[in-house]
Structure 1
Amino acid sequence: MVDSNQLQDNRRDFKLARLTRAALNPSPFEQFKGWMDDALAAGLTDPTAMTLATVGEGGRPWQRMVLLKGFDQHGFIFYTNLGSRKAAEIAVNPQVSLQFPWLALDRQVIVGGRAEKLSITEVVKYFLKRPMQSRLAAWASRQSSRINSRQALESQYLQLKEKFADGEVPVPDFWGGFRVVPEEFEFWQGGEHRLHDRFNYRPDGSGGWQIDRLAP
């Protein structure tokens, strides 16, 4: 068993950088792009990985990691099985939260907004770009459903590999994607003595964004 004192004493100081109001881009999309560029340039493991939080039946939140597959002024895109738990919860409550944990840079970004289904055209365009193995895996896995064993999953994959041996793997009708349209951003930069820098962006009602510094 892990010693609770060991957990309590596990800490470090954050000294990599500071984040000032003057350094922030007026657009949270441009600010995010700059930080994503930094994460990519730093060679972080899985810089596009983001925690997606949804709220399910009874108001219970649930989180999982998904991969960001595109972003622009309209929102943040990810793909998934439309029968998955995340998709089912989004269908009931489209309000979600994304979090990018760039811990090696002492940074995190949180995005809150509304998830909207992508068009069939967008889904097909991306699906056909995926590696053959990924397309087959999309068919093989009824995401979030109960399975008897790992062997059953792998057997299904091999059957599909034989079925689509010609390389033409169509888009499953149960597979799609979502765009999270942002309604709020938070940029966090770790600071010395736990005096972190936090800035929140919210729409200002006139097409721009109100930026507020938050206490850490």
Structure 2
Amino acid sequence: MGSTRKFLEELLAGNQRHVESLPENYFAEVQTDQHPDTVAICCSDSRVPQEHMWGFDHPGVIFTPSNIGNQVWDDDDGDRIVDGGVLYPIHHTDTDVAVVVGHTGCGAITAAYQVATGGDFPGPKGVDKWVEMLVPVIEEGLESDLIDREMNESTVINQLVEYNVDYQAGFLRESDDVPDDVGVYGFVYDFQGVYGNAYGRAYLVNVNGETDSGRITELIPDEFATSTQSLLY
């Protein structure tokens, strides 16, 4: 109890510093309404700073739902539907860009990989649900020609992270609930130096279905050429 109370005090102190650091009128433009440019669905992981990773220091720019394995869907009586956290800003706040953000060393992908290769679900039930929805994606990835199963397990898992980002982005693009003019981009946030030596870089791996890093490079300014890499293509 003592350690949890100590951390509670740290949270309160941290929020106090946050309040004191905010400039005057920080929330003035978004107090009664929001029109974020982007909805970015990330994995629920403490190592992935959802707004800070994009360098934004003001509110109302990024709508940030997250879940286990950065999955864009949910289960509705056996049907896969686009998760409400993704659909809400697209339909109600004029958001016209959707971003799927995976990350290296993902525990959700690792758990789904272990289940797909004969292991047990990690539990509890609330976690198992999301891992179970990932397992068919991982199985499909393992059966494809894109994953090199001869590599060590960590490399295979990071390839599957990117595969899942592509899969989730494809689900959004194919959904009737997502308008055709919504841009859909996929990133892998790398804090392990898997894609390169720029720790904390979000590597662009999918642009509206384009996954070839060479072609993606042609779609972005030259100064960001090193921001697109792929473990699959």
TM-score (norm 2): 0.26
Higher relative contact order by CA 8 Å / sep ≥ 6: 1 or 2?
Answer: 1
Which protein has the bigger strand share? Answer: 1
Which has the larger share of helix?
2
Question: TM-score, length-normalised on structure 1?
Answer: 0.27
